[in-house]
Amino acid sequence: MFPFAKTIASIGKAGLVSLMLACAGLALIIVIAAFMGINAFTAWLVNFDAAWLNWLIQGTVGIAAGVGGWFMLPALTVLIGGVFQETAIDKVERIYYPEKVRQEGPRLWPDLFHDIKFTAWAVFLNMLVLPFYLLGGIGLFVSIALNTYLLGREFFESAAGYHIGKPQALRMESTNKAAVYGGGFIITLIALVPLVNLFIPIIAVVWMIHVFHSLPQNGAGQSLPADQSSHTD
């Protein structure tokens, strides 16, 4: 139910290093672009006569954006992971579950609009949680609980839906909550570790595909049309 060893071993055995580096590069680009955008907007908005006051405000906003971005990164993992999701699943299954490899080849970012919609919703919910950080450690626990639910459900539905479609994936999730949300908890914790969190989108996909194949009656190996195997809103 908790495939720690398989997930770590898959990185080397399934040849996922290049995907993980690409994933980390994309994550850095998004984070740096967001940081620069916030700083540029602040510089344009704040224009006091006292240069030191401008510097102080911009510096404070920059630090706040950096800290906030660290806590927001879990919400971005689905968007980043979606680019490489099917390629990672295909590579892992060819090594560990060759009899379950889907006939259709992997697609690049098959659920683009769904991933954008989910990410916007996840970022919004995480922003609502930010005031809880003013109450001390409770903010961290609320954030972890929220992202455990969001990431556990989304990554499992993506892994299961790759084979059996979203409706059946939802039914599997409802009867395997410990595996789904236990995985979401692990994914969320890893997403809070600096540097390691750059690779979490691939790690999360690999973790959940192993979870999916460990469950009875997963239905893997059935070839579904692309519109059924992808997410539906």
| pLDDT tens per residue, range 130-165 | 788 778 778 889 989 999 999 999 999 999 999 988
- What is the sign, positive or negative, of the torsion defined by CA atoms of 208, 214, 216, 221? positive
pLDDT at 97 (0 to 100) = 94
pLDDT at 52 (0 to 100) = 74
The first and second tokens of residue 114, run together, are 């769904």
pLDDT at 233 (0 to 100) = 40
Overall domain count for the chain: 1
The first and second tokens of residue 57, run together, are 């405000």
Alpha helices (H) along the chain:
4-13, 17-45, 51-96, 112-129, 138-164, 166-175, 177-191, 200-214, 226-229
Is the CB of residue 97 less than 8 Å from the CB of residue 213? yes
Provide mean pLDDT across the span 159-177: 90
Residue 57: partners with Cβ closer than 8 Å, 6 or more residues away: 42, 46, 48
The range of the structural domain enclosing residue 84 comes to 4-229
DSSP tag of 170: H
Give CA–CA dist 66/64, Å, rounded. Answer: 5
Provide mean pLDDT across the span 63-73: 67
pLDDT at 197 (0 to 100) = 85
Model pTM?
0.79
